[in-house]
Amino acid sequence: MLMTSFGMLKAGVSANLMSLGALDFGLIVDGAVIIVENALRRMSERQHKLGRLLTLDERLPVIASAAREMIRPSVFGQAIIILVYVPLLMLTGVEGKTFTPMALTVIIALVAAFILSLTFVPAMLAIWLSKPVDEKEGRIMRWLSARYEPNLEKAMQRPTLTAGVGFGAFIGACALFLTLGQEFLPQLDEGDMTVQVLRIPGTSVDQSQAMQNRVERAIATVPEVKFVFSKTGTAELASDPMPPNISDTFIVMKPRKEWPDRGLSKAELVAKVEAKLEDIPGGAYEISQPIQMRFNELIAGVRGDVAVKVFGDDADAMNATANRIAAILRETEGAVDVRVEQTEGLPMLDIRPKRDRMARLGVTVADVQAVVAAAVGGRDAGLIFEGDRRFAVTIRLSDEARADLQRLRQVPVPLPGGGFVPLESVADIAVTEGPNQISRENGKRRIVVQANVRGRDVAGVVGDARARIAEEVRLPAGQYLDWGGQYENLQSASKRLTLVVPACLALILLLLYAALGSVRDSVIVFTGVPLALVGGVAALALRGMPFSISAAVGFIALSGIAVLNGLVMVTSIQQLMANGMRRERAAFEGARLRLRPVIMTALVASLGFVPMALATSAGAEVQRPLATVVIGGLISATALTLFVLPALYARFGQREKESAA
């Protein structure tokens, strides 16, 4: 950890939830576990042979020899684990910012542990192991060995059936994976909430504030709420431009220990807030969290989890399409707070000239326009000088007069021959609804339908909605749809991983070939990867977790650990075959001899992830899927590798002559 801290400092990685929180101490000591276990075994054998304690000069060559025996699986195993984290460095966007610090920290820690396991650990073993070393198995290992050996014999007697069980488990895991939901990142429980209130376009600041006060008072009656505050419209710095009819309400919660019901879930708390808002008319409400709201806005320019963008040229046709999509989303399970971007409904003063009457009276459109501009917009009538400063004098109707249509209708319009007529004689005056805003993206007009997702995964909601939209909504010519929000980032990250991960797996195969010198043996060790996926998928399903980028990172880390165990076992089998033992017998003996280090490395690595899997504190939502996948995968990989790998090697491993060569 000391060397890792120096590495993080030089790499510019800060200590945060992902960089240090995802660091598994069990993974760091895996290389040392292999070397220490073999050194203890060799020391015990040497002491029994001589019948006395070894001196320091005698311990040094024994431990050096034991370390050299394990240097190949240790070096290549650690290199493979480091390699599997490389794809995370290729991620971009939000997922890259989230997981790159973790990947860098883990790689730095593994490199430091790798160096220490080959230098510091053997040296300390030689110095400290001055007392008798008696290699004996504890009760747990004796119990495991007594049950492992007879079952291993049965598995190796029927290698085809054993391999078929492993293959069947993998196919079952693939089928189970298809039933899992998908989301970009697990939703963090920030503790606090936000309620965005949307009112009719054109609502004044005073009216919005009066209505907002009622919203705040209603929410403040919830016993779990500490205090409520809000902001309406655009601030002076304009960092968050909003019209006066939109308010952001921030709800700060009390500490959970002060809640009347401490076991209240976030969904139940949201339901209590929604119940308080049901009786308040005049607005649409969207409940989210402060960081989540900004996060979604940065991703797709909207504040919802899912955004359906309708592109086209005809505003009316686009609005009709958007409303049909919104109706489908409201009927989709898991989609809440559905709303269409407010592009219409802004009150406008509509003055239309009566051209026939204007022609009879000799009044031109320019005359009417000049009168309206002076009455409503104002007309400069002079200047006032104060020293070096000067101010324009503008004459216009008062605010009350401009808001009164009857008084506007009586505004006098001059006639060419002298005299005046009221404005209503030459124009129709009315208040109509006009466009509230016109949004564009990539040069095309855009209307957004957005929704939040609760109680379900994002990909499942989008999949159901897309199917219904494709079936029920017929897009006019020139219109097309685009899906944004968290789903957009999920697709982007998934596409990048589908390119990078296969390349990484191919490099793992190359490293295995360099370590084992046999294509067959490399493929047999590589079977640990699909066997590890079985437990990872099963663990996600058992805990009711959808697949996310966080879980994908867990699968990536899992593949490296699974290969390490297989590499340790096959290296032992090759050593026995090199000493003249037949392949079938060497597979059995190698598996039996490596039961303890395989169990230890898997157990140590999985135990390191247990705190992350059970954590409930802030930020644990991102770490839990990763830890769940690794723990479940290690269980299945260890159980299946201990039986499937020896059976496969006895049937398909390299021949004795190749091993001897």
Give the end of a domain, one of 391, 408, 435.
435
pLDDT band at 619 (very low <50, low <70, confident <90, very high): low
Q: What is the pLDDT of residue 578?
A: 81
**Residues 225, 330 within the same domain:** yes
Per the structure, the complete domain to which residue 213 belongs is given by 193-344+453-489
Q: Which amino acid is at 439?
A: S
Question: Within a domain: residue 472?
Answer: yes
Question: Within a domain: residue 499?
Answer: no
Question: Within a domain: residue 509?
Answer: no
**DSSP, residue by residue, 231-279:** EES--TT-SS---TTEEEEEEEEPPGGGSSSTT--HHHHHHHHHHHHTT
**Residues 533, 577 within the same domain:** yes
**Residues 286, 375 within the same domain:** no
**Residue 514 in 3-state DSSP?**
helix
Q: What is the CATH number of the domain that holds 384?
A: 3.30.2090.10
Question: Within a domain: residue 229?
Answer: yes
Q: List, for residues 483-526, the tens digit of each pLDDT value.
A: 877 777 777 777 877 877 788 788 888 888 887 777 888 888 88
**Residues 300, 378 within the same domain:** no
State the total domains in the chain: 4
- Residue 594 scores a pLDDT above 50: yes
Q: What is the pLDDT of residue 281?
A: 80
Question: Cα separation of 259 and 266, whole Å?
Answer: 13
Question: Cα separation of 90 and 71, whole Å?
Answer: 30
H helix or E strand, kind and range, residue 43: helix 30-50
Residue 299: both structure tokens together: 């991703």
Closest by CA position to 558, among listed 639, 641, 631, 644: 631
Q: What is the pLDDT of residue 240?
A: 66
- Residue 643 scores a pLDDT above 60: yes
Q: List, for residues 112-171, the tens digit of each pLDDT value.
A: 888 888 888 888 888 877 776 666 666 777 788 888 888 888 888 888 888 888 888 889
**Residues 273, 288 within the same domain:** yes
Residue 201: both structure tokens together: 């376009």
Q: What is the pLDDT of residue 32?
A: 80
Mean pLDDT, range 269-274, rounded to an integer = 85
Average pLDDT over the chain reads: 81
Higher pLDDT, 208 or 293: 208
Question: Cα separation of 421 and 414, whole Å?
Answer: 7
Q: In what order do the strands lie in the sheet with 246-253?
A: 225-232, 246-253, 193-198, 284-288
Question: Within a domain: residue 496?
Answer: no
**DSSP, residue by residue, 290-310:** HHHHHHHHHHHSSSSSEEEEE
Q: What is the pLDDT of residue 63?
A: 83
Given a contact cutoff of 8 angstroms between Cβ atoms, the answer to whether 605 and 587 are in contact is no
Given a contact cutoff of 8 angstroms between Cβ atoms, the answer to whether 215 and 197 are in contact is yes
Question: Within a domain: residue 505?
Answer: no
**Buried-state track 220-235, b at ≥16 Cβ within 10 A, e below 16:** eebebbeebebebbee
Question: Cα separation of 327 and 340, whole Å?
Answer: 10
Q: Which amino acid is at 55?
A: T
**Residues 161, 37 within the same domain:** no
Residue 467: both structure tokens together: 């199917």
pLDDT band at 300 (very low <50, low <70, confident <90, very high): low
What pTM was computed for the model? 0.70
**Residues 351, 340 within the same domain:** no
Q: What is the pLDDT of residue 506?
A: 83
* Those residues with Cβ within 8 angstroms of residue 236's Cβ, 6 or more apart along the chain or in another chain: none
**Buried-state track 264-285, b at ≥16 Cβ within 10 A, e below 16:** eeeeebbeebeebbeeeeebeb
Question: Within a domain: residue 554?
Answer: yes
Question: Cα separation of 177 and 632, whole Å?
Answer: 14
Q: What is the pLDDT of residue 659?
A: 46
Q: What is the pLDDT of residue 133?
A: 66
Percent with pLDDT over 70 in the chain: 93
Question: Cα separation of 309 and 426, whole Å?
Answer: 43
**DSSP, residue by residue, 622-633:** HHHHHHHHHHHH
What are the φ/ψ torsions at residue 353 (nearest 5 degrees)? -65, 145
**Residues 388, 408 within the same domain:** yes
Q: List, for residues 201-238, the tens digit of each pLDDT value.
A: 778 888 888 888 888 888 888 888 888 888 887 776 65
Q: List, for residues 234-266, the tens digit of each pLDDT value.
A: 776 656 677 788 888 898 888 888 888 877 777
Question: Within a domain: residue 158?
Answer: yes
**Residues 338, 364 within the same domain:** no
**Residues 315, 221 within the same domain:** yes
Question: Cα separation of 75 and 35, whole Å?
Answer: 11
Q: What is the CATH number of the domain that holds 157?
A: 1.20.1640.10
**Residues 120, 156 within the same domain:** no
Given a contact cutoff of 8 angstroms between Cβ atoms, the answer to whether 218 and 195 are in contact is no
Q: What is the pLDDT of residue 21?
A: 64
Q: What is the pLDDT of residue 136?
A: 64
Q: What is the pLDDT of residue 237?
A: 64
- Residue 617 scores a pLDDT above 80: no
What are the φ/ψ torsions at residue 160 (nearest 5 degrees)? -65, -45
What are the φ/ψ torsions at residue 227 (nearest 5 degrees)? -160, 165
**Residues 616, 632 within the same domain:** yes
